Amino acid sequence: MRRTERIVKGFLGQAGIGVNGDSPWDIRVHDQRFYGRVLRDRSLGLGESYMEGWWDCDRLDQLFARLCAARLDETAARRPIPKFLDALLEHLQNRQSRSRAGEVAEKHYDLDNRMFLSWLDRHTQYSCGYFAGTDDLDEAQERKLDLICRKLSLSPGDEVLDVGCGWGGFCSFAAERYGCRVTGVNIAREQVEHAREACTDTGLDVAILRRDYRELSGTFDKIVSIGMFEHVGSKNHKTFMRSIGNCLRAGGMFLLHTIGTNVTATGCDAWIRKYIFPNGDVPSLAQIARAAEGIFVVEDVHNFGPHYDRTLMAWHERFEAAWPRLKKDYPEMFRRMWEYYLLSCAGAFRARALQVWQIVMTPMGTPQPECRLT
């Protein structure tokens, strides 16, 4: 057995993962170059070699749940220099500056509306659902939207701002179900065009603007941001909070829905950053609190991270069902990339390595609101 193979097998064995074994989370290696690739490039090499068909696994979600639960990224300090350099670059550069903010929109969110909408729910939610009392993705996403509306105590006539509005699902929901006047802002061209068409067709009081959060203007009773803060970056967290604060009326409320990490770090997983979310930077609760300090009072923090495991598994099931219609437009490597992305993230949430927080905030000096927080 070669040295690289022995090291990688020993490393995986710490998480109870075998190579060419019988367990559904075991790895089946098809190309011996896999071992050197993983030892050299770590998480990036693991993901790229899967995309290229060098290895397979019956249950990627279980594999990554075991990898994350074993916290092997903390014990594998064999190659600290690349991680140090990444942290240094994060410190020196603003990877989410105004000029670079559009990269994630161009490479991910503008990929193809037809592809995304083939497996998302009827409200086009590309964030964690709320599976309270249901096993159905459509119902879970509707319950998430209604939960947000109740936490914000939405009422008819409220002026609402949705920062990073995606395909306009929340905007339509709040306008239709709660009688609000909603403005959605987003920098992803394809999403903005779809949201405009969808809201125009329903005749709802919704305006969709292609605009960066640093360009916000106007005043609103309630503001929400769902699944967008992960693209803001730690250097811009305070700017984001100030932009929200400047647009929120006295006595208003702000709800932030975001993925979060347990420990403050820089950036995100190397494979995710390269292939899925360029310049992604998942915040810790400490980072969010520091950014809100002096601007907002934190009224409530609700963690329902395990619901993202179920959301991602449902997305994967729907993506696989849609693939026969999509494969004429995409290569097999694209399918493997999305399979790896959805199932590896499901495993990370299952292991509690990642969280989902809904944080309700009010401007300094605002009386504590009466609202449904769960």
CA distance 359 to 352: 18
Q: Which two tokens stand for residue 280?
A: 């992604």
Largest Cα span, the chain: 70
Cα–Cα distance measured from residue 250 to residue 332, given in angstroms and rounded to the nearest whole number = 52
Q: Tell me how far apart the alpha carbons of residues 37 and 46 are, in angstroms, rounded to a whole number.
A: 7
> Which of helix, strand or coil describes residue 207?
strand
Q: Give every CB contact of residue 291 below 8 A, 6+ residues apart in sequence.
A: 237, 238, 240, 241
Q: Select from 195, 140, 362, 191 the least CA-distant residue to 182.
A: 195
* Angle subtended at Cα 51 by Cα 23 and Cα 16, rounded to the nearest 5 degrees: 25
Number of Cβ atoms within 10 Å of the Cβ of 283: 24
User: Which run of H or E residues covers position 315?
Assistant: helix 306-326
Residues in the chain: 374
| 80 CB-near residues (< 8 Å, 6+ apart) | none
What phi-psi label fits residue 27: left (phi over 0), alpha (psi between -120 and 50 degrees) or beta?
Answer: beta
180, 247, 345, 371: the active-site residue: 345
DSSP code, position 306 = H
Partners of 56 in the β-ladder: 28
**Catalytic status, residue 345:** yes
Query: Which residues are known catalytic residues?
Result: 345
